Amino acid sequence: MFQDIEGVVSMRKVLLVAGGTGGHIFPALALGEELRNCGVTVIWVGRKGMLEETVARRADFEFEPIQSGQVTGKNPVFRLRALAEISAGVFQSMKIISRINPDAVIAAGGFVSAPLLIASWIRRIKFFLLEQNCVPGRVTRFFSRYAQEVFLTFPLEKSLSGNCNVTGTPLRQGIVQRCSQSSGFPLRGGASATIQNRTVLVIGGSQGARVLNLAALDLAATLSNIRVVIITGKRDYELIKSLVRSKNCELVDWTDQPEEYYAQAALAITRAGALVISELMAFGIPMIVVPFPFAADRHQDANARYIAKIGAGVVLEQSQLSGLTSLVQRLLTDSAKMEAMSRNARAAVRIDAGSAIARRIMTVLNAEGD
């Protein structure tokens, strides 16, 4: 993407840290690949044996493991253990910084980011933050004032200290390439009133959502004239498979190429994770958003409110899932509303966010080298 950028200083090195769920890891992957295309050496930092290591190594990034912990709950033993893990992670991060001497650190979220950010602050290494949600996480809230820049996926509900800019979230190249070929709602099922053979995609996030999976089974059984594709998550795949009674219901345990399913969907039923919402917006897919009610700081509720505000989807509380089937039926027979949601989604997303963020980071690093 950036081979033609003038003034790129060669041999730049950055440490990229992200972990936990796909909502943190895959934007980091997309940004890391953009930076690598700039000629930057990208070293991924994360927890050993977790999803981030699998993703990083599969994408041919060098991987440096560190420890980290999440200080939650009131149990003093768990809190002390988490603090000990964070302290160990800071020590490991200091050693990595001394050995690699990075030009910058990029943190894309997850509690694994904290030790490396602490070490970066101590060593006066520039760092950038990616914040995916409308309500920023604790790591972002604490470190934003010290960051070179905070790249926001959506406008925040409350202001945040520091240099914050709404850029959108980096999307993987497979998503970017495929969504540019997609024609939006009207051509993914037609603008007529019939719902015959329309595909409804159900996504519970990278870890799945049992309550959505079960509701989707009822949806498929009731509306036999639509196709229901459920990305169940690996944990629930066998359970949901044993409960399927409808021929119009297809299951996928997990996929690292969701664009294949996005391209077929007329409507999506999804949790309110920032990444999946951004990907659906890129494809112009109208959505029913069911926020996870126990998400940290109720950030999924805030993300869902944003989707409703811009007119890209409808919010359905988890406690109201009994009304899912009738809502799907109403939406699929209201072409004007579906087309409007599709247009609004596409108008609000930046599919070039990864390249824009990489360009901004390169500008800062190059200015430092002048």
CA dist 292 and 87 (Å) reads: 31
Q: Which of 121, 128, 266 is nearest to 201 (CA)?
A: 266
Q: Residue with structure tokens 């603008």?
A: 191
CA 277 to centroid of chain Cα atoms? 8
Is 311 one of the annotated binding-site residues? no
CA dist 35 and 108 (Å) reads: 14
Residues found in the chain:
370
CA dist 273 and 290 (Å) reads: 10
Is 335 one of the annotated binding-site residues? no
CA angle 284, 285, 287 (to 5 degrees): 135
How many CA within 13 A on the CB side of residue 333? 9
CA dist 221 and 225 (Å) reads: 10
Is 300 one of the annotated binding-site residues? yes
CA dist 107 and 321 (Å) reads: 35
Q: Give the domains, in start order, of the chain with CATH numbers.
A: 13-171+351-369 (3.40.50.2000), 176-348 (3.40.50.2000)
Is 174 one of the annotated binding-site residues? no
* Element spanning 313, H or E: strand 313-315
Burial tier of 5 (Cβ tally within 10 Å: 0-12, 13-18, 19+): middle
Is 313 one of the annotated binding-site residues? no
DSSP annotation of 71 reads -
CA dist 276 and 357 (Å) reads: 19
What are the counts of helices (DSSP H) followed by strands (DSSP E) for the chain?
A: 14, 13
Tokens of residue 165, six digits:
């800019």
Contact status, residue 207 vs residue 21, Cβ threshold 8 Å: yes
Is 159 one of the annotated binding-site residues? no
Is 23 one of the annotated binding-site residues? yes
Per-residue pLDDT of the chain (370 residues; tens, 9 = 90+): 444 444 444 589 999 999 988 899 999 999 999 999 999 999 999 999 999 999 999 999 999 999 998 887 778 888 899 899 999 999 999 999 999 999 999 999 999 999 999 999 999 999 999 999 999 999 999 999 999 999 999 999 999 999 999 999 999 999 999 997 766 665 455 444 456 679 999 998 666 689 999 999 999 999 999 999 999 999 999 999 999 999 999 999 989 899 999 999 999 999 999 999 999 999 999 999 999 999 989 999 999 999 999 999 999 999 999 999 999 999 999 999 999 999 999 999 999 999 999 999 999 998 876 5
